[in-house]
Structure 1
Amino acid sequence: MIDTRTAPYAATALRVALGILFLAHAGLKLFVFTPAGTVQFFGSLGLPGALAYLVILTEVVGGLALIAGVYSRIVALGLIPVLLGAIVTVHGPAGFFFTNANGGWEFLALWIVGLLAVALLGDGAYALKPTPGAAARAAFAR
C-alpha cells in the first residue's frame, strides 16, 4: 500500500536528486572535460560532435526542470534516451559494474529506473509546473 500522505514528498526527493545528478554530469562536461573535449570524445565514438552540445544542453535544461518540477513526468521520459545512448556507446561495452574500467552500465540503469519512477509517480510536492492533466487524473483516481 502506498502512503498517500508521504508519496508526494518521496516523488519530490527522487525528482530533485535526479535533477542534481544531471546538472553534475553536465558540469563535468562543461568544466572538467570542457565542451571542446566533450565534442572530441563524441567524435572518437563515431558520433557527430554537435551531439555533445545537444547532450550538455539536455542535461542542463532537463536537470533544472526536474529540480523545479516543470513537467517532470515528460522531462523524465525525455531524459532516458540520453542515458540509453551513454549505455550503448560508452558504458555498455565496459560491462555491468560501474567500477569497471570505463565504468559499467549499472549506475545508468538505476538512473533510468529512477526516471521511470518519476514518470509513473508524478511531479510530487512543490512542483512549479505540474505535468498537464495530472490534477485531473488524480481527481479521477479518487
Structure 2
Amino acid sequence: MQTTSQPASVDRSHVAGHDIAALLLRLALGTMFIAHGLTKLLVWTLAGTGQFFESIGLPAWVAWPITGLELIGGALLILGVRVRWVALILAAELAGASMPHLANGWMFTSSGGGWEYPVFLAVTALALSVLDGGRLTLPRFIQRR
C-alpha cells in the first residue's frame, strides 16, 4: 500500500541529472567567486580594490563588502547552503560588476576588460538560482543523518 502522494515509480533518493548539473554549477561558480575574492584581498589588496572602485565612481569602502560577499557567497555555493538566494545575490553583484566594462566592448581581453565574462557569469548565477542547489548539498547530507 502506497502511503505518499507520489507515484510508486518516483524514487526520491535517486540523484538525477539536474542534481549533478546543479553541483557542477555550484562548484564552478563558488570556486570562481572565492578566487575573485581572494584576488581582491591578497593580490590587489583591499586598499587597491578600493582605489579601483573610486576610479569608477564607487566609494572605496565598497571593496570590503564586495570581497566578503564573493568569499562567503562562493563558499555557500560550494556547500549548497541557501543556493537560490546566494546565487541571486551574486548574479546581481555580477550584473553590477559588468557596468564598468560596457564601454570596453564585448571581449574581456579588450583594454579595460569587456563585458562578456561578467555578463556570462551573471546569467550563469541567475540560472543556478532558478535551478537551486539540487540534492547534493551539505544541508541535505546533514538532514539525512
Q: TM-score, normalised by structure 2?
A: 0.81
Matching residue of 1:127: 137
Aligned counterpart in structure 1 of residue 101 of structure 2, from 91, 99, 102: 91
Shift of 1:124: 1.7
What does 1:1-142 align with in structure 2 at a 5 Å threshold? 5-88=16-99, 90-129=100-139
Tell me if structure 1 keeps the 8 A contact 2:80–2:136.
yes
What is the RMSD of the two structures over their aligned residues, measured on CA atoms? 1.4
- Paired residue type of 2:130: L
Gaps of 5+ in 2: 1-14, 141-145
SS at match of 2:103: coil
Aligned length: 126
Shift of 1:60: 0.6
Matching residue of 1:140: none
SS at match of 1:129: helix
Shift of 1:126: 2.0
Shift of 1:63: 0.4
SS at match of 2:138: coil
Matching residue of 2:9: none
- Distance in 1, matches of 2:17 and 2:63, equals 38
Tell me if structure 1 keeps the 8 A contact 2:33–2:74.
yes
- Paired residue type of 1:5: A
Deviations 1:2-46 (A, max 9, x none): xx7221011110111000000011111111101111111111222
Q: Which has the larger radius of gyration?
A: 2
Tell me if structure 1 keeps the 8 A contact 2:77–2:86.
yes
Query: Could you tell me the percent identity over the aligned residues?
Result: 43
- Distance in 1, matches of 2:116 and 2:131, equals 22
- Distance in 1, matches of 2:51 and 2:35, equals 20
Q: TM-score, normalised by structure 1?
A: 0.83
